[in-house]
Amino acid sequence: MKLVLKRIVLPFLVITILALLVTKWINMPRTPKEFFEKRCTNCHDLPDLTEYTAEEIPKLVDFMRNSKNAKRYISEDEAIVIIDYIVSTKASIPVSVDSLENERR
């Protein structure tokens, strides 16, 4: 019985635990986009944020964390990364053609 435990059950357990850890590691979000996509879909589909302005995004994420209990899934640091990412998809820095021409002179 002891031999069975040592030769079969133990290696099986070790491999199972390793497989779980590797799966967890593979599924970890790595880029800001992935943090947004993974964290913000814990409770609902990926939200359509086209109606929100860049200024509203921090308030929206705070609202999710503080009023909708998203704190359970989204840490403070992750919230900053996610806000940065969403805002970056919106912000288009207006560049006037005039200022470019002036630079060239």
Q: What is d(CA 3, CA 9) in angstroms, rounded to the nearest whole number?
A: 9
Least distance CB 91 / ligand HEC (angstroms): 16
What is the rounded (10 degree) CA torsion for 74, 78, 84, 88?
Answer: -80
Binding mask 15-44 for ligand HEC (x = CB under 6 A): ------------------------xx-xxx
Strand segments (E) across 1-95:
none
- Token readout for 13 is 């357990």
CA nearest neighbour of 85 among 50, 45, 42, 35: 35
Of 23 and 50, which has the nearer Cβ to ligand HEC?
50
The answer to whether the beta carbons of residues 60 and 52 sit under 8 Å apart is yes
Of 51 and 98, which has the nearer Cβ to ligand HEC?
51
Does residue 62 bind ligand HEC (CB under 6 A)? no
Does residue 70 bind ligand HEC (CB under 6 A)? yes
Tell me the number of residues near ligand HEC by CB under 6 A: 16
Binding site for ligand HEC (CB under 6 A): 39-40, 42-44, 47, 60-61, 64, 68-70, 72-74, 82
